A and B are shown apart, each in its own frame.
Chain A
């Protein structure tokens, strides 16, 4: 999915309007973004990465023009390189085009254009459009007619917007991809309910209304096969033959902020609920349970004799878990904070160095990976972002396929990181009973759904939202979950929270435990780890701390717990994913009860690109 924006009539503000519009479309994806402005010339700025990357580029470069178009992209196939980012241009640099959709016959058109001498610089289907426009312009066609001729050749779905040097206008075509015009008719709108065009103070176009909702609520939805021209005069809509089309002018009533959140109050809750789907995506095509096989693209014949993980924040907790998986398979593995590793690296030996980073742009992690490469190590990136810096710089990349995550606090990407690290271990190490391990992974989407259907987390959160501090304990695979539970609580509630290995509690932190500090204990199964953790639970219970057990119910921890958050029974490594979902929900509802800015916590950024 991609997002398109266009703007005419905002003079010097055009660029700011475009970038703001792109940020409102970020729910449609954000792995690369770009803008083009036009007056006598066309200037383009585009960059892979989040919209902030584009903003940074625009801080360094000056581009100007009276009218403009912009694009934000989320690619699942093909890398989001600068070259593949939209807008795309022609050979002359006089045409720029943004496109949402898929051109099915682009290859044959491209072959034809190449043999006619056109030069292509990207791997995209979109790039044929500016070159087709270029040809038509060269034949003497007006820009609108040139776009008409170009899209005449296209098969597939498209919403296209183009700018052409020398014309202060945006040219638009739609087929099977959404496009809507926004009309700012000045302080007193015309009031007409239908028109084939009209004068405006400013005119916008976008894939979806929120992109320009801050400026106007008057909209015209384009239909398939329709074209539009936006210029200083206003707007006109025509059909394929150029005949004006009578269009209805609607007034939208709804609040732009809500779009993109799928009916939830926050992106974070939406993303917590997306975990079953994200896990399916992560596993899709990579596991064969009945054949007990894991097949991951791009890992080659990797079979490391040692592994060093480097990561920060939530990804560090995933990395701790990843190292446990390798150690269980008999392979020495350690986890390092990337910022420490970068400046004080340990001896690497033959170890594979694995960087875990959602964005693939985390500066500390990149720096640690570079240090490892510099020392001759083989490197692998576990990331959510196709073609990110980490993915490009490492020898191998394993994509977690969680889809775009907007909430600053990581939720679904942590679950997907854990699943992907299981795949990594299964694919590169002699994991015991692989078929059962794969079955455990394949059961996860349904089990997370079961948990979401019946979770009591909001009631638990409400009960303890005024507590002085929160502690989280777990052992084995549940230890990283305890750390992550505490980090989530800190990030979005701003309250003091700490995670500990359950056995470590008595070596100091127990001094902090009071009747005002709920302790969340993750207890899975009824083996030795569970029994020992239950012992630790008794210690805090004796200090009158409220105990919340996150458990599959196989141990007797519920006897010592004030509240229980149930998870389905499964293998311990899969249980970590489930327990974490309960803790995500507790943090979310606590933050909500406290009225925090959940999607954008104070002082935090989604991907930290400084060291």
Chain B
């Protein structure tokens, strides 16, 4: 039985990435300068899948608008998960849209085609037995940790308390069609159906094959991780823009002034405008239609689509969502900093600032390391910002 159809789970918000998820789910956040989900679809297309079913939910129109009815010639169908009740529940929504064995993948991590292909290849040698990708991670206890026995999965534990695990569940699975019955037979835990609970049951009753991989696998858990993700995709050259010279990629439709300095690695997306005297990079990723005014500096930063950086601004270790306007002489000197998310404090994170979608800073604003500015907030001229700035807030000096 060959695997022709993939189901991509892209319904969850990714709350730990707030405030960047105000208008879109985590799979649509930028890895470098294109959505994480594009890398996932690329991997599926490269692995030869013929049809992709996308389970959407939170802000689903953003996924549908970006990809439309097909991706690189492969038809996409969308099914909606009305309430986000776990990954198993998400997969169940696709039941009527697929037949036969199915490849299931999380839509919120950057992966590559070889990894997907090797899961499929292993599965096809024994198509009654589920297979999943496992990989080595030092921080295995932050993920779904697994251990193996004779090449099979022996146990799977979500975020174990101990440090003894070395392997994690890569979130790439091949299942026979019976998976849907198995999920339905799995008891709900606190109202939710986690796919890993079903897999734990399968381990007990039968076997689940582990496919060990060392392929590309990059995850963003917190906003500052988007900086690491960008560095990773740039280091591996996983961008679609034209290569101007070593690790400098500029879209054909972008205007970059001859007197701008591009320090590799750097990627400049379509329709961007970059003025004279700017310094971009290293490790700068500009999404579509970004404007950078004269003599601005953008380093180790991700600026998503439609963002405007006015003349003389300095941005280091900065994540800007979509349609952010950073006025003249806005200064973000960069990390490290202690960042508070909810009740937890993360020490020594490299983070200059996070500007959520449609933030505006007027002229001469300075921002302390580790600042999170909520969606559509305005920082008026001369403000010094630090800590958290709430959505829609107007901050005046």
Contacts and interface: CB of A to CB of B under 8 A. Distances in A.
Interface of A: 1, 27-28, 100-101, 157, 176-178, 180, 193-194, 208-209, 221, 223-224, 248, 250-254, 258-264, 270, 273-274, 276-277, 280, 283-285, 288-291, 439, 442-443, 445-447, 449-450, 452-453
B322 interface: yes
B242 to A, nearest CB: 13
Contacts of A253: 96-99
Contact of B289 (A100, A193, A194, A442): A442
Contact of B23 (A1, A101, A453): A453
Interface of B: 1-2, 4, 23, 48, 50-51, 54, 56, 59-61, 63-65, 67-70, 73-78, 80, 96-100, 252-253, 255, 257, 270-271, 273, 275, 288-289, 291, 293, 305-306, 322-323, 357-358
A221 B323 contact: no
24 contacts: A27-B69, A176-B73, A177-B73, A180-B50, A208-B75, A221-B51, A223-B48, A253-B99, A258-B77, A262-B67, A263-B54, A264-B64, A280-B270, A280-B288, A280-B289, A288-B273, A289-B291, A290-B255, A291-B255, A439-B291, A445-B289, A446-B323, A450-B358, A453-B23
A127 B76 CA distance: 29
Given A259-B69, A262-B65, A280-B270, 7 more contacts: A221-B51, A252-B99, A262-B67, A264-B61, A289-B273, A442-B273, A450-B357
Contacts of B2: 223, 248
B1 A443 contact: no
B255 to A, nearest CB: 5
A590 to B, nearest CB: 19
A453 B60 CA distance: 11
B213 to A, nearest CB: 22
A447 B323 contact: yes
Q: 7 closest pairs, A vs B, by CB? A: A263-B78, A446-B306, A446-B323, A221-B50, A263-B64, A262-B64, A273-B65
A285 B357 CA distance: 25
Contact of A442 (B78, B252, B271, B275): B271
A193 B4 CA distance: 14
Contact of B100 (A1, A209, A250, A263): A250
Contacts of A194: 1
Contacts of B306: 443, 445-446, 449
Nearest to B96: A253
B64 to A, nearest CB: 4
Given A221-B51, A263-B56, A264-B64, A178 B78 contact: no
A51 B362 CA distance: 52
B74 A178 contact: yes
> Dominant SS at the A interface?
mixed
B77 A259 contact: yes
Contact of A248 (B1, B76, B78, B253): B1
A258 B357 CA distance: 31
Contact of B1 (A193, A252, A254, A445): A193
Contacts of B100: 248, 250
A252 B255 CA distance: 47
Nearest to B76: A262
A276 B65 CA distance: 9
A260 B75 CA distance: 9
A261 B68 CA distance: 8
A452 B99 CA distance: 35
Nearest to A269: B61
Contacts of A277: 65
B80 A263 contact: yes
A120 B289 CA distance: 41
Given A221-B4, A258-B77, A259-B69, A442 B291 contact: yes
B98 to A, nearest CB: 8
Contacts of B288: 280
A443 B73 CA distance: 30
B99 A284 contact: no
A100 B323 CA distance: 36
A274 B358 contact: no
Contact of B73 (A1, A193, A289): A1
Contacts of B273: 288-290, 442
Nearest to B275: A290
A273 B323 contact: no
A208 B74 CA distance: 9
A376 to B, nearest CB: 38
Contacts of A193: 1
Contacts of A263: 54, 56, 60, 63-64, 77-78, 80
A254 B289 contact: no
Contacts of B64: 262-264, 270, 273
A208 to B, nearest CB: 5
A274 B48 CA distance: 28
Contacts of B271: 280, 283-284, 442
